[in-house]
Amino acid sequence: MAENVGDLVVETTRLTKIYQNRQIALNDVSLRIERGWVLGLLGPNGAGKTTFLRLCLGLHRPTAGFVKVFGKKMTPNAAVLRRRIGYIPTNPQFPKGMTPISYLDYMARLFGLPRDVRKPRLASLIRAVDLLAGSGNTIAGFSNGMTARLAVAASLINEPDLLIWDEPTLGLDIEARRSMLDLIKTLAREKTLILSSHNLSDIDEVCNHAAVLSQGKLIFSGSLQDLKGRIRKNHYELDLDGDQKAIAKAVSTLKGHNEVKAAQLRQRRLDLRLNEEAPNTAVLGHVFHVLNENKVTLISIRSVGQQTEQAFLDLVEKEESKGFTRLYQPAEAA
């Protein structure tokens, strides 16, 4: 936790957004984001992720609660706070008649940057995001990848301390996605980032903290390790080699072990589920011993499921299964 208020980059308190008394987009969200965090904002479609980000930017006004950014309350007129934020929306749209140079110049002027600062900076950014060749062309003819790169440049033109990127890898090809993730890792060394994404492997790769929203409610916030710690443990897949009868015999032996919940053989792949509370190292030691006794070779072993994804799914499933008891149980969010 932050030791003093200065460490908090974003702080939301009982943040609630109800649209025209018809739709509850966000429900009582209290979240603290500290300096240096790379926060992955997770949640199914309609969970309230974009609403949360828009409230943080002052584009929407909270129905109840408030957002503080850099220790000050965010409002639609808080231009001073937004000067320290770089934002990429989902599917960014740009004025089609502008060129990258004129667009970035416009963005820089919207941040109040004087000519002697903005001109060199936009030139560096255009070079950095590899748009030099297309810098004289209008944005109308840009591909998704080029548009994404321009959005990155626009979000960095003011050298922000906080970056809010809403699904930055959406619609990018493999190469562009890889470049984006590498850029995020580089930026994470000196900036605070909030990333909303459906792609959990991206979050897993670049984030050190996560917040999970479900139906407008914050159901988890904490480190990524904490999130992963909540997954269903002790589910493994083993690729085996050796005599088929020997493998079958080993599996049969394993099924008799108290701590083995299920052992299912498909061809030469063993799907092994251990009891939740079992110390996995001890049981796996026994598994290796049995395989060795039966002269079965282990080719590979892996923990089943993409860990963050599994943890996320578990959380959402658990939240939904609570039903009406949610009324009386405090949220698990920190």
Partner 1 sequence: MDTPATIPIPRYHRWLPFWAVLQTDLRQTLRSWVWRTWVLAVVSSSIGFLLYRFGVYREAKILQGASVLVGDLMRWTVLGSVTLVVLLTVGAIASERGTLADAVLSRGISRYQYFLAKLHARLATVLVTFVVLSALVLTSSHFLLHEDLSMLGCLVAVTAMAVILTLVVSCGVTIGALSGSTAVGVGVLWLSLYASGFVLSFLPARYPTPDRVLAMLPQILRGEFDWLALKQMMQVGLVSSAVMALVGMIGFSRSDV
Question: Structure tokens of 23?
Answer: 């739709």
Q: Which residues contact 240 (CB under 8 A, 6 or more apart)?
A: 247, 268, 269, 270, 291, 296, 297, 298, 299
Q: Does 111 bind partner 1 (CB under 8 A)?
A: yes
Q: Which of residues 115-144 bind partner 1 (CB under 8 A)?
A: 117
Rule CB under 8 A: choose which of 99, 106, 183, 230 binds partner 1. Answer: 106
Q: Give the range of 3-11, 38-46, 135-143, 194-202 binding partner 1 by CB under 8 A.
A: 3-11
Question: Is residue 68 close enough to count as binding partner 1 by CB under 8 A?
Answer: no
Structure tokens at 243: 């005599």
Minimum separation from the CB atom of position 93 to partner 1 (A): 5
Least distance CB 27 / partner 1 (angstroms): 17
Smallest distance, partner 1 to C-beta of residue 32, A:
12
- Residue by residue, DSSP assigns 184-235 as HHHHTTTSEEEEE-S-HHHHHHH-SEEEEEETTEEEEEEEHHHHHTTS---E
Which phi and psi (to 5°) does residue 303 adopt? -75, 130
Stretch that binds partner 1, among 31-39, 40-48, 181-189, 207-215 (CB under 8 A): 31-39
Task: Concatenate the DSSP letters of all residues of 237-277 into one string.
Answer: EEEEES-HHHHHHHHHHHHTSTTEEEEEEETTEEEEEE-TT
Edge-to-edge strand list for the sheet holding 8-19: 23-34, 8-19, 64-69, 72-73
Torsional sign, CA 91, 203, 23, 54: negative
Q: Which is nearer to partner 1, 13 or 280 (CB)?
A: 13
95 binds partner 1 (CB under 8 A): yes
Residue from 15, 49, 94, 217 that binds partner 1 (CB under 8 A)? 94
CB-nearer residue toward partner 1: 189 or 266: 189
Looking at residues 167 to 206 of the shown chain, list those that interact with partner 1 (rule: CB under 8 A). 192
Q: Which stretch binds partner 1 (CB under 8 A): 105-113, 263-271, 286-294, 313-321?
A: 105-113
| Tokens of residue 313, six digits | 């799914």
Binding residues vs partner 1 (CB under 8 A): 2-4, 6-9, 19, 34-36, 54, 57, 59-61, 70-71, 76-80, 82-85, 87, 89, 92-95, 106-107, 109-114, 117, 158-159, 161, 192
